Structure 1
Amino acid sequence: MATEVAAGDAATSVCTVIGGRSSFIGRSLVAMLLRSPAGWTVRIADSHPFLQLDPDEERNPILSDSIQSGRVSYFQVDVRDGSQISRAIEGSSVVFYMGASDSTSRSFYDQYKVIVQGTKNIINACRHCKVERLIYNSSADVVFDGIHDICHGNESSPYPFKFEDRLNDLRAQAEALILSSNSADGLSTCALRPSNPFGPGDSHFIPSIVNEAKSRWAKFFIRSGRTMCDYTYVENIAHAHVCAENALRSGIAPVAGEPFFITNLQPMETGEFASAILDGLGYQRSNFHVPHKLLIFLLMLVGWAYKKFDLLSSPSYLRVAFLRSFLCIRAFDCSKAQKIIGYSPVISLEEGIMSTTDSFSHLARGSPYMRELDLSKSSNVEKLLGSGKVADILLWRDETKTFAYALGLFLFLHWFLLSERTFLTSIAKLLLLVSVILFGHGRLPPTMFGFTIDKISPFCFEVSQTTMRSVLMSLSSVWNRGLYMVNTLARGEDWSTFLGVRNQSEASSSSSKYISICLLVTISTFR
C-alpha cells in the first residue's frame, strides 16, 4: 500500500520519479527538479517502506523543506504490482523511471520480473493514467556484449545478439519496451543511456573499485587498464533527464521514441580513472603492469571455467565480469543528445571525481570505517606463514615472482588436468611444443626490429660420452637388479619379498588381481 508523506499542490506540474531513493541517479534528479524554476511537485516512488533522510540530506534543506511544504510526496511501490504504480503516478504529467537498481537477487526469474515485467507494468500504468511523457534511465551497456570493444558507438549500434551479462540483456529488453510504446495512448517516451555513471551515493561502481584496490591481485588489472572509456557524473545524468523532458514537452525536435547516449564528453583511460579515485581516497598506486592482451586472455580462461562448472551466479564470476568489462573500450558519441535535446555537461570530469572522493571519505584508507581492513597491519595468515620464500609468493610480497608462479601453475593444471588428455599424451605434446619453439628460435635472424636475438649454442644440446656411458650403466644396473629379483622369486628363495610386492599391488588399485596373476605366470615361466 502506498505510504504518502505529503500531498502536493494540484495546480502545479506533477512528476513522478520511480526509483528516486534506491538509485543515486534518482536522488540527484529529485534534487535538481526541486531546484528547477519550473516549480515541480515531485512524487518519489520506491520499494522502501518509508522515506528516511540521510544525514547529508538533513543538513541540506532542499528535500526536507519540500516535504514540509508539500512539494514532495513519497509512495512505497513494488514495480511488479501495477495497482501500486497507478496509485503513485495518478495525475502526473511526466514519469522518470530510473530502472531497477537492485540486482542482488541471483535468480534469473526474479530479475526478469523486476526489470522486464516491471517495465511493462509501468508502461501500462502510464497509458492507463494518461501520463504524457515517460523517460527511462537505461545504460550504455545495452549495446555492449561484454567481449568486443566499442569505439565511438552511437545510437545506430544494434543490440548484441548475445550478452555476457544477463542484467544488460534484461535492461536492453526493458529499453526496447519503452521505445516501442511511444505514441501509444498519447504517451511519448525516450531512453537515456549514461555510460559508467558515478558520483556521490553510488553503491556499485565506486565501491567495486575500492574493493578491488584492497585485493592484492586485482590491482594488476586496475593499473593495467589502458583502454578508453566514457564516465558520466551523476549530476550530468540528472541534467540530461531535465533536458529530455523539456525536449519531449516542446515537441519540436525528434525526441520521442529515441535513445540517447549520455557522457561527460571526456573519455579517459580506465586505469587513470580508477587511480584518480583511489588517489583521492589515499590508496597507493601499483607500479606493476601486466600486458593488456595477457589479462584479457586470463579472464577469458577463468570465465570459461566458471561457465563450464555452471558458476555464473557466484560472486567470484561477477567480479571476473566486472574486471573484464573494466578492460574493454567503451567510448560513445554523445553528439545526438547535444544536438537534439540540448544536453551538455554541467560538471567537468575532474570536478566530478573530486566531489565523488569527498563523498566517499568513509571508504578512504585509514578512516575509522576502513581501519579494520587496513592492509598495512599483519594479518593472522601473515603471522602464520612468516617471512620465507613460500610466504613471499603466497602473500604477493614479490609481485613479479608471484604472478610468474601463478601463471605457471595455471598453465600446468590446464595442460595436464583440464585438457582431458592422458598423461603420456600431454608429455608428448609438451615435448613437441618445446621442439617447435626451439626450431623456430633457431630459424630467427640474428637481429629483428633492432633487437639482438641471442642464439642457443649447439653445444647445449650435446651429450658427452662420459655422461651417456653413465646413463647406460645406470639403466643396465636397474635392469639386472630387476632380473635378479624375478629369478629369486621364481626359485622360491625370497617369499617375504614376494608377499610384500603382492600386498602392495592389492592396495594400489583395483587391478591388483591381474598384477598378481601376471607375477605368478612370470614365476612359473622362469621355472
Structure 2
Amino acid sequence: MFAKTPLFPYVNSFRHYLCVGFFLAAVRGASVVFYLDSTEITPNDFYTCYKVIVEGAKNVINACRDQKVQHLIYNSSADVVFDTRHEINDGDESLPYAGKQGNMLADLKAQAEAFILFANDIDGLLTCALRPVNVFGPGDTDFMPSLIQMAKSRWFKFIIGRENVMSDFTFVENVAHAHICAESVLSSRTVSASGKAFFITNFEPISFSEFLSRVLEGMGYNRPTIKLPLRVARYIILQVKSMNSSMDCGSVHKILELSSCNRTFNCSAAQRHIGYSPIVSLEEGIVSTIQSHSHSSKSSSVAGYPDFIEQSKVEKLLGNGIVANILLWRDEKKTCAYFVSLLVLYYWFFLCGRMFISSAAKLLLSIVVFLFAYGVLPSRVFSFVLPRLSLSGLEISEVCASDAISSLAYTCSNVSSLIQTLAKGEDWHTFFKVAGLLYFVKVIVSNSLITDAIGVALALAFTMFLVYEQLQDEVDGTAALALSISRKAFRLLIKNLPPAVTSFSPVLQMSQDSGSPTSLR
C-alpha cells in the first residue's frame, strides 16, 4: 500500500493486514492511497489469502474513511473476469465477474475490488480500480518467475496449445503511470472515473507463445519448436503430480491456462476517462525485463562454473555424445530429422510387405539413380542454383576401411572359434546359449514379432530417455520401492518354504537360514 503525503512503504507483512491500527497510522494525513495486495502469500493457503486480500481491503476502506482520505485506487487484475475456459477478445469493462474463477486469488481479488468500488463516494472517499493484464517487468515476483521456472524445467521445449493465442501484456512502469493518471483525474473530482474499474494494457496484443519466446530467447533459452496439444500437456502434468504430490507444478499450470485461449482487452475506457496511454512500448519493456533478469538467464547459471556442467544419469548412460544429444532432444531439429529418417527406413524395410533383401536392393537402386540424375542436372534450373555434391564426402578414408576390415576379421574369428567349440561337443553351457538364442530369433521372425518389437523400440528410444531425465528422482524412487518390496516378498517366500524343498538347493537353504535373499548365480 502506498499513501501520498506522507509516503509509506509497501505493506508485505501478514500481521499488518490484521491490524487496523497500522492502517490508521499508515494513511493518516494522506490525500490518496494506492492499494496493492501483497505478493508474498501462498496461493494454497485460503485463510491467509482471504485475510490479506479481502479483509485487508476492508481495513483499508475503513481506515481511509476514518482518516478522511479523499482517493483510494486499487490495483486489481484482469483475472477477475477470466474463468480460464472462455476466450476474451477485445473485452471491455462491461464484462461481468467470472462466475467460476480460474483460481482462488482471482476470486478473492474480485471480492476486494467489489468492496472498494462499492465504497465510492461514501464519507467523501472516491475510489476506482485498475485491472492490468499480465504485468511483467523488473521486480516482478509472479509472472516472470513462472516463465523462468517453466524454461528451466524443460517445458519450454514445447509449443503448448495453439500458436495463434493472442494476449495483452502490461509493462510495470505503465501500470504505475496508470495509477498516476487515475489519481490526477480523481483529484479533479471527475465523476466519470470514480467508482469504476479500467483495464490497463500496453495496447499491443501479441501471440502468447511469441511473447514467451522473445523473452526467454533473450535470456539464452532456445525457441521452442515442438508442438504439444494442450490436453496432452495437462495430462502429463496430472500424471507427474500424481507420482509426486510434493512437486510444485503451479508455474507450468499457470502458463498453460494463459496459453489456452485468447485474452485481449479494450482500453478505450481508460484512455477516455483517466487519460491513460502507455509510456513504455512492449519491445522496450521486453528488453528492460531481460536485462533486469540477467541473473536468471541460462548463460549466467553456468557462468561461474565454466569447468563444471552437471550431467544427468541418463546422459552419462548414453555416452555424452551425439546419441545422447539426439535421444534427449538437445537439438529438436536434428532429433526430428533422425526420427523421421528412421521411421521412413522402418516403413521401407518392415511395413511394405517386401523381403528384406528386396527392400535393401531397391533402396540402393534408388540412391544410385538419384545420385546419377543429380549429377546429370545442370548447375542452374529455372533460376534455381543446385549445389554440387562434394566427392570428398563420399570417399572412405584408409583408416576407416582398415578399421572396418579389422572388425569384420575379428567377428569372423570369433564365429569360427564358437563353431569349433560347438563341434567338440563338450561345452553344454555354450550350446544351450547359442541354441536358445537362435530359437528365440526363429520364434520372433516366424511370428512377425520383430516388426512390432522394432517399432516399439524406436518409439521408446525417443521418449523413454527424455521422460526418465525429467522424472529421474520419481522413477528411481519407484524402482527402489519395487525392489524393496520384491526382496521382502522373496524373503517371506523362502521363510515359508518347507525344509524338504530348500534342502535341494544350498542357496535357498542358506537364504532361509540367514533370513535374507542372496543372488542366484
Alpha-carbon distance change, 209 to 98 in structure 1, aligned in 2, over 3 angstroms: same
Give 3-state SS (helix, strand or coil) of 2:95's partner. Answer: coil
| Aligned twin of 2:91 | 153
Superposed displacement of residue 136, structure 1? 0.2
The share of aligned pairs that are identical, in percent, is 47
Superposed displacement of residue 280, structure 1? 2.4
Give 3-state SS (helix, strand or coil) of 1:131's partner. Answer: coil
Superposed displacement of residue 157, structure 1? 0.5
Cα distance between partner residues in 1 of 2:15 and 2:72: 17
Kindly indicate whether the alpha-carbon contact (under 8 Å) linking 2:160 and 2:233 is maintained by their aligned counterparts in 1: no
Structure 2 length-normalised TM: 0.58
Alpha-carbon distance change, 282 to 343 in structure 1, aligned in 2, over 3 angstroms: same
Superposed displacement of residue 283, structure 1? 2.4
Superposed displacement of residue 256, structure 1? 1.0
| Aligned twin of 2:297 | 364
The residue type paired with residue 240 of structure 1 is A
Superposed displacement of residue 221, structure 1? 3.3
Superposed displacement of residue 252, structure 1? 2.5
Superposed displacement of residue 387, structure 1? 5.7
| Aligned twin of 1:518 | none
| Aligned twin of 2:133 | 195
| Aligned twin of 1:261 | 199
Q: Deviations over 1:121-176 (max 9, x none)?
A: 11111111111110000011111112222111110111111122111111111111
Structural mapping, 1:25-424, within 5 Å: 41-47=6-12, 78-104=16-42, 106-221=44-159, 225-286=163-224, 288-290=225-227, 295-301=229-235, 315-367=248-300, 369=301, 371=303, 377-381=309-313, 382-386=315-319, 395-397=328-330, 399=332
Structure 1 length-normalised TM: 0.58
Alpha-carbon distance change, 111 to 310 in structure 1, aligned in 2, over 3 angstroms: farther
| Aligned twin of 1:17 | 2
The residue type paired with residue 339 of structure 1 is R
The residue type paired with residue 311 of structure 2 is S
Alpha-carbon distance change, 316 to 330 in structure 1, aligned in 2, over 3 angstroms: same
Cα distance between partner residues in 2 of 1:140 and 1:156: 13
The residue type paired with residue 179 of structure 1 is L
Cα distance between partner residues in 2 of 1:212 and 1:372: 22
Superposed displacement of residue 299, structure 1? 4.0
Cα distance between partner residues in 2 of 1:190 and 1:320: 31
Cα distance between partner residues in 1 of 2:91 and 2:47: 31
Cα distance between partner residues in 2 of 1:270 and 1:374: 34
The residue type paired with residue 234 of structure 1 is V
Kindly indicate whether the alpha-carbon contact (under 8 Å) linking 2:73 and 2:179 is maintained by their aligned counterparts in 1: yes
- Structure 2 gap ranges (5+): 337-445, 448-492, 494-521
Kindly indicate whether the alpha-carbon contact (under 8 Å) linking 2:169 and 2:201 is maintained by their aligned counterparts in 1: yes
Kindly indicate whether the alpha-carbon contact (under 8 Å) linking 1:363 and 1:370 is maintained by their aligned counterparts in 2: no
Give 3-state SS (helix, strand or coil) of 2:102's partner. Answer: coil
Cα distance between partner residues in 1 of 2:135 and 2:166: 15
Cα distance between partner residues in 2 of 1:185 and 1:303: 50
Q: Over aligned residue pairs, what C-alpha RMSD do you find?
A: 3.6
Cα distance between partner residues in 2 of 1:203 and 1:242: 22
Cα distance between partner residues in 2 of 1:385 and 1:306: 24
- Structure 1 gap ranges (5+): 1-15, 19-32, 34-39, 49-75, 404-469, 472-506, 508-527
Alpha-carbon distance change, 256 to 269 in structure 1, aligned in 2, over 3 angstroms: same
Give 3-state SS (helix, strand or coil) of 2:7's partner. Answer: strand
Cα distance between partner residues in 2 of 1:402 and 1:299: 20
Alpha-carbon distance change, 401 to 174 in structure 1, aligned in 2, over 3 angstroms: farther
Cα distance between partner residues in 2 of 1:165 and 1:393: 39
Cα distance between partner residues in 2 of 1:216 and 1:83: 47
Give 3-state SS (helix, strand or coil) of 2:18's partner. Answer: coil
Name which of structure 1's ranges 212-221 and 93-102 shifts more when overlaid on structure 2: 212-221
Superposed displacement of residue 298, structure 1? 2.1
Kindly indicate whether the alpha-carbon contact (under 8 Å) linking 2:12 and 2:38 is maintained by their aligned counterparts in 1: no
Cα distance between partner residues in 2 of 1:307 and 1:366: 29
Q: Deviations over 1:339-370 (max 9, x none)?
A: 01111111111111112212222222322x55
Give 3-state SS (helix, strand or coil) of 2:197's partner. Answer: strand
Cα distance between partner residues in 1 of 2:329 and 2:195: 52
The residue type paired with residue 335 of structure 1 is S
The residue type paired with residue 379 of structure 1 is Q
Cα distance between partner residues in 1 of 2:35 and 2:306: 39
